[in-house]
Amino acid sequence: MEFETTEEQRLLLETVNKFMDRRLPPAEVRRRDEAQEPPYDLLPLMGEIGILGLVVPERYGGSGMDWTTLALVQERLGQKAYMAASIFNRVVGFGIMSLLTYGSEAQKEEMLPQLVAGRLLIALALSEPEAGSDAAALRTRAVQAEGGWRISGRKTWISDAGGANYLLTPVRTDPNSKGSAGISLFLIPPATPGIAMTTLPKVGNHCMPSFDIGFDEVFVPHTAMIGQQGRGFAHMMPTLHFSRASMAATVTGCAQAAVDCAIAYARERRQFGRSISSFQVISHRLVDMQMRVDAARLMVRYLAWLLSTKRPCRREAAQAKVMATECLQFVTDHGIQIMASAGYSTDSDMQRFWRDGRLYSFGEGTNEIQRNIIARELGLLKPFPDM
């Protein structure tokens, strides 16, 4: 592993810095959070500076770089504004990597250039009222019809569904199947007749709206299926590895921003005639916060190296997700304690980090499920079924 960033990577990060400082400065981040305004308008601009297609082969309009470079960009986006990192990750994880992993050549040729250009957004419609952590228990079903399928069921807590061009939707295509068998994946436009969506209110992540989605005999053509029929659950596993790697990188960046915010405040805030950063109880707390971030960053970089070299990483993806999300909760909780009322104020960035960060330890697979994955990889639980 090489920890030194290359000249190409440094230039790329400078480009990201300039882009974010111009398009999402702190005041604009606060305004969008208060207005609950998603930054979908930034996707074409991200396409223009070439960051959406970093790991896409050149024949589809990308740069053909490795995941290590992508992880550096994801961390920097998370440090600058998680709302931008979030939509970036949907394009990469649910869109680009799903297509590259199990999409047909026709689907790749049609969609990858649009994703790279920022003209396409794909949301993952996985969770259901009775199928969250137990994704194999999903009930949404597809019945074959002339020319395609008719889909009925319900999905819930689907982030960015309202701004997406397609919903990557796992459904049960074999009515007699149980568990992970008999599930297939479809790319479904949200505007398809028979789909009804309701916005769900949340404590945080106001720029990443979530929806409850009903499917009532929704017709999709055969070409809407992505991957092999009945292999949808197996296809979803690498998609989730990539999405968890993306979350881990961006959450680590967000955690660094929270630590920087707390350090800046501690240096300026004076009590008993001196800066509170000079008090051992405060300085040690800040040290512990930074050490957590550095540990998460090392795990993210190791995972990025595994992905770049195409090595197995089921355990490491789960570990990185747990470490980064719990690191963010740790540093924001302690950051608010250090800043006290100043951190609890709605004028503070810390309270937004705190509100938003609470989601990530159960979003895209709860940390309890991640620990089960790690336990299976260590031989402590029964191995995963052959999918």
How far apart, in whole angstroms, are the C-alpha atoms of residue 375 and residue 383?
9
CA distances 327 to 56, 235, 252, 283, Å, are 30, 29, 8, 18
Q: What is the DSSP string of 3-25?
A: -SPPHHHHHHHHHHHHHHHHHS-
Residue 4 annotated in active site? no
Please tell me whether residue 40 adopts helix, strand or coil conformation: helix
For the CA atoms of the chain, what is the radius of gyration?
21
According to DSSP, the residues that pair with 200 across neighbouring strands are 210
Nearest partner of 104 among 244, 229, 237, judged by Cα: 229
Burial class for 214, CB neighbours closer than 10 Å (0-12, 13-18, 19+): middle
Q: Catalytic: which of 316, 364, 368, 377?
A: 364
Nearest partner of 240 among 318, 171, 188, judged by Cα: 318
How far apart, in whole angstroms, are the C-alpha atoms of residue 260 and residue 80?
11
How far apart, in whole angstroms, are the C-alpha atoms of residue 107 and residue 186?
12
Positions annotated as catalytic residues are: 364
